[in-house]
Structure 1
Amino acid sequence: MLITVTRTGGLAGGEKTASLETECRADGPELERLAELALSTEGPAEQEPVPDGFRYVVRVDGKLVELQDPYLTEDQRQLIDAVLATAV
């Protein structure tokens, strides 16, 4: 499973993108579980923009979901953190 996370916004307004393939990773099954939950879990209906907050686009095998702080579930946050940690 290919997972890509793009983070934009924040105080500096920069962009950071990272991708990982779960197939050969020891934590692959857990990342796949988190990815499925991230795609299936909806955030609050009314998401007020947060000044200097981060926005995320999570792509999983061609599907995508747009998320933003502080409206992330714990599963979404874990997935985003794990993927962005692989960025160079």
Structure 2
Amino acid sequence: MRIEVTRSGGFAGLTRHAALDTADRPDAGHLHALAEAALSPSGTNRAPYPDGYSYTITTGTGTIHCVDGDLTPAQRELIAAVLGEGA
């Protein structure tokens, strides 16, 4: 499975994009479970706040847009895994 994350916004307004292919990873099952949970809407749909980040998470099964302050634990963990840094 290919998982892509795009982060935009923040104080500098920069965009960062990264992709992760889970095919040969020992943690593939965990990442697939995170991706499935991350694509479930959190229900609040907050608007981005000034200097906050907006995220787009895309997998083979769908895409979701989310923002700082409204991330679920699964979204936060998946974003950190794909971008290689904390969300």
* TM-score, scaled to structure 2: 0.90
Contact 1:8-1:56 at 8 Å conserved across structures? yes
In the alignment, the residues of structure 2 paired with residue 49 and residue 35 of structure 1 have an alpha-carbon distance, to the nearest angstrom, of 22
Which portions of structure 1, spanning 4 or more consecutive aligned residues, are displaced by more than 3 angstroms? none
SS for the counterpart of 2:35 is helix
Match of 1:63 in 2: 62
User: Is the Cα–Cα contact under 8 Å of residues 42 and 71 in structure 2 kept in the other structure?
Assistant: no
| Deviation, structure 1 residue 27 | 1.1
Shift of 1:67: 0.5
**Amino acid corresponding to residue 81 of structure 1 in structure 2:** A
Q: Which residue of 2 aligns with 1:2?
A: 2
Q: Does 1:74 align with 2:73?
A: yes
Q: Which digits, 9 at most, give the CA deviation of each residue in 1:14-54, with x for residues without a partner?
A: 00000011111011111110000011233314x13311000
Cα-to-partner distance string for 1:52-81 (whole Å, 9 max, x where unaligned): 000000000151000000100111100000
Query: Do the aligned residues in 2 keep the contact of 1:43 with 1:72 (CA within 8 Å)?
Result: no
Q: Which amino acid aligns with 1:43?
A: G
- TM-score calculated relative to the size of structure 1: 0.89
> Alignment partner of 1:52: what SS?
coil
In angstroms, what is the RMSD of aligned CA positions?
A: 1.5
The amino acid that maps onto 1:11 is F
**Sequence identity (%):** 44
Aligned counterparts, 1:32-43, within 5 A:
32-43=32-43
Could you tell me which runs of 5 or more consecutive residues in structure 2 were left unpaired when the two chains were aligned. Answer: none
Correspondence for 1:83: 82
2:3 maps to a residue whose letter is: I
